[in-house]
Chains A and B, each alone.
Chain A
Amino acid sequence: MQDKKILEVNHLNKKFGDNEILKDINGTVKSGEVICVIGPSGAGKSTFLRCLNLLEKPTSGEVKFEGTDLTHVNEKQLINLRERMGMVFQSFNLFPNMTVIENLKLAPIRVKHLKDDEAQKIAMHLLDRVGLAEKANAYPSSLSGGQQQRVAIARALAMNPEVMLFDEPTSALDPEMVGEVLEVMNELAKDGMTMVVVTHEMGFAKEVADEVWFMADGYILERNKPDELFDNPQNERAKDFIGKIIQNV
């Protein structure tokens, strides 16, 4: 594991109108690291994640990806940098007008200008990896939620990203499907993928996270090793929040 900084956030601030959602966020994600972000609903976790690939434009502060400040590049450069950051959404966001394999091949062909057979090979390999090779020609609407999310992960991986951002990837799933998605993510982490994951899956966090960041009210109030943070939180809000999720399990 190298110590190369993949993402670096300095004094990040985000306002929607007069509403300050992110307040002076700082943090670093090194190559191969897995960061889990937890916190109550409305804390600003999604907004934070979306600021990392500039889906949301920060009001002030820096978001550096491999040393380049994304807040100061033009549209074209931003598109180039974004393709190297994969993102997986709570609601999957597969393209319903395309088959599974077409979902995977679109960006490699259109953005990376791969030939069709190259893209096909990569796509099939990834579908195999998430256990859905036989669904290649199915339309997303015919898949279960868990299957759709695995396809969404494969689609992001098809661009061979340096870092993967996950925004509550399992919270829209029926409980029996959470496992299959977490398993894919688990393997990804073990393969050395750099990941920032917004999740409340404590088991997953404990197993693969290098660090857990607790967010509330637009601040990162505590960051620590998962065992420390879950078993012995220092911050009052964190203590309260973890108490609640343990009760719910």
Chain B
Amino acid sequence: MKKNLKAIIQIFIMIAAVFTLTTVFSNSAAAADTSLQRVKERGELIMVTSPDYPPYEFQVNKNGKDKIVGMDIDVAKKVAKDLHVKLVIKSMNFDSLLVAIQTGKADMAIGGINPTAARRQSVDFSKIYYSGGQSFLINSSDVNKYKSAKNLKGATIGAQTGTLQYGLAKKKIPNSTVKGMDKSTDLVLALKTHKIDALGIEKPSAEAYVKNDPSLKMISSGYHLNKNEIGAAIAFKKGSGSLVAAVNKSIDQIKKQNLTEQYLAGAGKYMKVNTVNTSMFHYWKYFAKGVEYTILISVVSTFFGVLIGVILALMRFSKQKWLRGLAISYTEFIRGTPLMVQVLFVYFGIGVVVNIPALISGMIAVSLNSGAYVAEIIRGGINSVAKGQTEAAASLGLSKGDLMRFVILPQAFKNIWPALGNEFISLIKESSIVSIIGVTDLIYQLNIVRADTYRGVMPIFVAMLLYFVMTFALTRVLNHFEGKMKHAG
């Protein structure tokens, strides 16, 4: 037990070391401001956004191709054009946007981000390019109940987690209960099903919803706010002064020429296109892509998960104490932390030292995670083979290797197989967590479709069905092989 503890402490020290390293890296990068120079040398401006927030940014399907559009995208395009570089768009959860620029995953984050004082402590902001104002969405049936924001006293208010609206509702609506969710689409659904009474949201977004859904109405927030709390600005990693200055020039022009109005009108057009056909069949390509990525991640992670699991299991049966200790600590550590945190750690944490794309990061994290569980399954399977088998083999003079190869493993495999099957099935389901770093798996695509169609439930139902088809098919295949093994005695 003490040995395990020692090994676990070692792992902690290793992780702390990686962490320190990443912090040092990010700080040293901040020390010399090469932000503008790097973008120009690269010839690419990389931006991150969370495309589920029409009309700021959202995903549409134009001529069979996925495209992220919206006012913010037009702003970013103008910036890139003025810098004479190409714009590269990456997408992920709103929560992760600021982390992404802090860890160098992108040059800038844009997504209706309000440059609050708190946020200014961790990132740099451009000038404000648009001031929308805050409002609330309510159900049309409640228009008499909630004539203005004053009537919301004591109500349940929803807002996107990590947004300004969340903090404002908490602070400014007396006695309110504030419910946070990741996706504005979920929040709208919560509103329509009366889980919340009102939804704190920026005015342009609220207007978009009201236009597309007659069961929703908008009321003004009545907040008295300074311009940092209503305006949207572009976020950069701290110490990117040169890049910020260059971007500000573009923003000055945008404001002078009132370009945002033009951008919003353009976004509105896309939204009209969007809502013409909201049947799920129309979106089959989105779901197909999601299924493709979910299967890809699952297959790759299953393969490496088994590989890692076998290696760990061998280490557990090794004569070397330190190998055993290492395997035990690894397994305990992985099993003791949520997959979501592991995904974030691989992408953002390790990503500072070596830049790994989101899809690969997701696969690495899921494989590392699955490996620990597979190792336990293998170990359990081996231990479940009766002790008498080992003794019989030993009494015949069989070597340890032969004992494993001919006696233990073939029998263990019969116990391992069903448990491994369960692991594969849960891997398909759990891989959905990679959507938080913007991997376009089924969950990610599901959210895109929901944002696109303003339909809350139907896409969820379709995704559920697709997951079930995948896991059910896998179950049948696994059962087939399990049946075959039973014949072999």
Contact = CB atoms under 8 A, between A and B. Distances in A.
A159 B407 CA distance: 17
A106 B391 contact: no
A82 B411 contact: no
Interface string A154-183: 011001000001000000000000000000
A91 B414 CA distance: 21
Contacts of B407: 95, 97
A99 interface: yes
B402 interface: yes
Contacts of A165: 395
Q: Could you say which interface size class chain A belongs to?
A: 20 to 34
Interface in A54-107: 55, 79-80, 82-87, 89, 91, 93-99, 106-107
B334 interface: no
Nearest to B387: A93
Contact of B389 (A50, A87, A93, A159): A93
Contacts of A141: 489
Contact of A55 (B386, B395, B397, B402): B395
B288 interface: no
Interface string A40-55: 0000000000100101
B411 to A, nearest CB: 5
B284 interface: no
Interface residues of B, number: 20
B397 A95 contact: no
A66 B402 CA distance: 26
A110 interface: yes
Nearest to B409: A97
Interface of A: 50, 53, 55, 79-80, 82-87, 89, 91, 93-99, 106-107, 110-111, 139-141, 152, 155-156, 159, 165
21 contacts: A55-B391, A55-B394, A79-B394, A82-B395, A83-B397, A87-B395, A91-B388, A93-B388, A93-B389, A93-B392, A95-B406, A97-B407, A97-B410, A97-B414, A97-B489, A110-B402, A111-B397, A111-B398, A139-B489, A152-B392, A159-B396
Query: Closest 5 interchain pairs by CB?
Result: A83-B397, A93-B392, A139-B489, A87-B395, A107-B396
Interface of B: 386, 388-389, 391-399, 402, 406-407, 410-411, 414, 488-489
Given A87-B392, A89-B391, 14 more contacts: A50-B391, A79-B394, A79-B399, A82-B394, A91-B388, A95-B392, A95-B393, A98-B406, A99-B489, A139-B489, A155-B396, A159-B396, A159-B397, A165-B395
